Copies of this chain bind each other. A is one copy, B any other.
Amino acid sequence: TRRGYPEAVLGEGKSVDQLVAIATALRDRGAQGGGSAQTILFTRVDPDRAQAVCRVLPDAEHDPLARMVAWPGTVPEPAGEQVLVLCAGTADIPVAREAWLTARYLGRPADLVVDVGVAGLHRVLARVPAIRAAGAVVVVAGMDGALASVVAGLTAAPVVGVPTSVGYGAAFAGLAPLLSMLNACAPGVSVVNIDNGYGAGHLAAQITAPRG
């Protein structure tokens, strides 16, 4: 483990065989008492890869929408400040859910809200109490990425922006919201890689970690 946080295995770019080998090694290490139920996250795993991993690690949990497998599957008892993950719509859900699950497997209390977009300001405004209650807000948005600026203007807590590749044409596979978020006109926004829900959830969990 990297200084107390779960290890993560990036599923994308690995073959089923390679993932099975990794899962087997982890299982064997665990069996030898090499680690006391330290959580492992397999990220960006498609259904085939996920099922292959789960066959090796039967007590793992698979979230198909988030394309994530966690082993062991039990979510730890939450501690630290609240993490809030926000996104506008259906197409952003995989990334948002990956952020939300990561924060929870890293031990934070975390909520996921999917129905907020700047084109319907009233829906953003309805969430202001939740936004202000969080110790860190993850904003997942494609296309114009405008939600990050709006949310950062509503809270004193750090906002982690995750641009997504949702959109077409001049969205340029996430470049548009990436640049938009990097230029957020409210301070308090920082940005992770396009579609990097895992990284955002991890960072939010670090920000909200219980203090000594």
Which residues of the partner chain B approach A146 to less than 8 Å between Cβ atoms? Answer: 118, 144-146, 149-150, 180, 184-185
Of A32-40, A50-58, A197-205, the segment with at least 4 beta carbons within 8 Å of chain B is A197-205
Segment 76-125 of A: residues with Cβ below 8 Å from B: 81, 88, 90-91, 117-121, 125
CB closest chain-B residue, reference A181: B144
Q: How far is the CB of A92 from chain B (nearest CB, A)?
A: 9
Measured between beta carbons, the chain B residues less than 8 angstroms from A152 are 119
- Give the most central of A8, A14, A154: most B CB within 10 Å: A154
Contact bitstring A40-61, B, C-beta under 8 A = 1, else 0: 0000100000000000000000
Using CB atoms and an 8 Å cutoff, list the residues of chain A in contact with chain B.
2-5, 8, 10, 12-14, 18, 44, 81, 88, 90-91, 117-121, 125, 142-146, 148-150, 152-158, 160, 163, 165-196, 198-200, 202-203, 206-207, 209, 211
Subset of 30 A-B contacts with CB under 8 Å: A2-B153, A2-B156, A12-B91, A14-B91, A44-B168, A81-B211, A118-B146, A118-B185, A119-B152, A119-B153, A143-B184, A144-B145, A144-B184, A146-B150, A146-B180, A158-B203, A160-B190, A168-B193, A169-B178, A169-B195, A170-B174, A170-B178, A170-B182, A175-B179, A179-B180, A182-B191, A182-B192, A182-B194, A187-B202, A211-B211
